[in-house]
Amino acid sequence: MSLTKPTLDNLRAAGTTTGDVYFPQTKLLLPFDGSNGATTTSDLSDANRTVTFYGTAQLSTAQSKFGGSSMLFDGDSDYLTVPHVSSDIVTELTLETWFKTSSSAYSTLIGTFSSSAGSHIQINTELDGGFAGGAGTGYVGVGVHGNSQLDSSSGGYSDGNWHHVALTRNASNLVTVWVDGVSKGTMTDSSAMPAHSFYIGRLNHSSARYFDGYLDDVRWTPSVCRYTSNFTPPTTAHLTSAGDVNKQIIVNSTADGVAIGTGGINQARIAKVWVNFNGTGTVAIRDSYNVSSITDSGTGDYDINFSTSMNDTNYSAVGGGPCTVGDHISVLGFTDYTTSNVRLLTVRLSTDIVIDDTHVSAAIFGN
């Protein structure tokens, strides 16, 4: 009896693990798992930031949404701080947590340090109607940059039950406050978002607004708007890996199966942006990845605009153009690095003048 090799459409990968597709972009993940009374906790994102406890802030096994413990704040002097990193400077963002409280105090779940009132974000509980002009008790509100404030349109969140709250901003600068997966209000804010240290359990270094209650599963995802329509809040703790999303899939033409590699793919080796375009006349993109457009700023002067912003400006840009033996047509130079685009110049090497080129290629590696 002979065996017939299955076709690829009959194959499936077994033993795979589920992960968060946006885990590589997640820059703070605090599940607050640990023993009762513990005064240390770990950031399970790849950023691995240091969390510092103040006052009598501690883990408690008395209450938890997931994992058997949560962070307990007494509303008096308890809070945590987490330092920022440069990749926090973004347009799109998602900041979320679970909270549980019966307190009527006007307090902040998560805030960011700012030396000026016009550059921070915050999620507040509206438990005494003190935020944004006094909307009433039991509300949740968010603030962005101090000049925009938004209240949820309904209250009742000081009931001693667990509630999920999220602040998002999308690529169109639409800010939304979500409570238990439902949009409770929107506003538009296009201000630049600077990076500042997180204050968890109070607003910032100078304003208290201490939170009285429990927090669980704090997650910060810069550069990603996770929620764009009403959603079901997470039913399990936030995932702490990308799962098999970035694992190798190895297909051997002489074998009968598919292997899922355990080594994974090194993200640093994958081009985050690439493009091939004609730079003469009207600029025309032949093919690209993560490029929204090419701006023609003059002869041999182009801006490569990214569809999805880079996390920081410490990326590596490489490129090339056509070459003729005996007359090097052009060399490419990059400048004006930003998270949303990079400037590219094409120069004729033999004459040292900037020219338009027929075939321009560029690739960008980084985070």
Max mean pLDDT among 17-21, 219-223, 257-261 falls in: 219-223
| Domain finish residue from 165, 197, 222 | 222
Do 50 and 184 reside in the same domain of the chain?
A: yes
Asked if residue 44 has pLDDT above 70, the reply is yes
Asked if residue 60 has pLDDT above 50, the reply is yes
Do 189 and 304 reside in the same domain of the chain?
A: no
Do 175 and 272 reside in the same domain of the chain?
A: no
The string of pLDDT tens digits covering residues 151-175 is 555 566 778 899 998 888 888 888 8
Do 182 and 324 reside in the same domain of the chain?
A: no
Asked if residue 219 has pLDDT above 80, the reply is yes
Q: Are 190 and 172 in contact (CB under 8 A)?
A: no
Burial of 298 (0-12, 13-18, 19+ CB in 10 A): exposed
Mean per-residue pLDDT for 11-28?
A: 74
Is residue 360 domain-resident? yes
CA distance 158 to 172: 32
Query: CB-based contacts of 116: which residues, under 8 Å, 6+ apart?
Result: 146
Is residue 150 domain-resident? yes
| Domain finish residue from 222, 248, 280 | 222
User: How many structural domains are present in the chain?
Assistant: 2
* Alpha-carbon distance values, 213 to 99, 109, 163, 200 (Å): 7, 9, 12, 12
Is residue 143 domain-resident? yes
The string of pLDDT tens digits covering residues 223-254 is 899 999 999 999 999 998 877 655 655 565 55
Is residue 321 domain-resident? yes
What pLDDT, on the 0 to 100 scale, is given for residue 70? Answer: 97
Do 65 and 151 reside in the same domain of the chain?
A: yes
CA distance 175 to 185: 8
Q: Are 25 and 223 in contact (CB under 8 A)?
A: yes
CA distance 110 to 280: 50
CA distance 358 to 171: 32
Mean per-residue pLDDT for 288-293?
A: 90
CA distance 121 to 200: 12
Q: Can you read off the two tokens belonging to residue 59? A: 């883990």
65, 67, 69, 73: CA torsion to nearest 10 = -50
Do 185 and 294 reside in the same domain of the chain?
A: no
Do 209 and 317 reside in the same domain of the chain?
A: no
Asked if residue 137 has pLDDT above 50, the reply is no
Helix (H, G, I), strand (E, B) or coil at 132: helix
Q: Can you read off the two tokens belonging to residue 278? A: 């004609």
Domain extent at residue 52 = 23-222
DSSP 2: P
Q: Which of 49-63, 151-165, 175-189 is predicted with the least confidence, judged by mean pLDDT? A: 151-165
Do 277 and 173 reside in the same domain of the chain?
A: no
> What is the CATH number for 159?
2.60.120.200
**What share of the chain has pLDDT > 90, as a percent?**
31
Is residue 9 domain-resident? no
Do 169 and 299 reside in the same domain of the chain?
A: no
**Cα atoms found within 13 Å of the Cα of residue 271, Cβ hemisphere only:** 15
Helix (H, G, I), strand (E, B) or coil at 109: strand
Query: CB-based contacts of 142: which residues, under 8 Å, 6+ apart?
Result: 121, 122, 123, 124, 149, 150, 167, 175, 177
CA distance 226 to 272: 20
CA distance 116 to 323: 52
| Domain finish residue from 169, 203, 222 | 222
Q: Can you read off the two tokens belonging to residue 79? A: 């809070």
CA distance 73 to 219: 18
Asked if residue 123 has pLDDT above 70, the reply is no
Query: CB-based contacts of 280: which residues, under 8 Å, 6+ apart?
Result: 356, 357, 358
Do 181 and 303 reside in the same domain of the chain?
A: no
Is residue 207 domain-resident? yes
Do 207 and 295 reside in the same domain of the chain?
A: no
Beta strands in 83-173 (DSSP E): 93-100, 107-112, 121-126, 139-144, 148-151, 162-169
Is residue 4 domain-resident? no
- Which run of H or of E encompasses 80? strand 79-82
In order, the DSSP letters of 168-229 are EE-TT-EEEEEETTEEEEEEE---------EEESSS-SS-----EEEEEEEEEEET----SS
- Phi, psi dihedral angles at 267 (to 5 degrees): -60, -30
Is residue 236 domain-resident? no
Do 206 and 133 reside in the same domain of the chain?
A: yes
205, 339, 230, 162: CA torsion to nearest 10 = -30
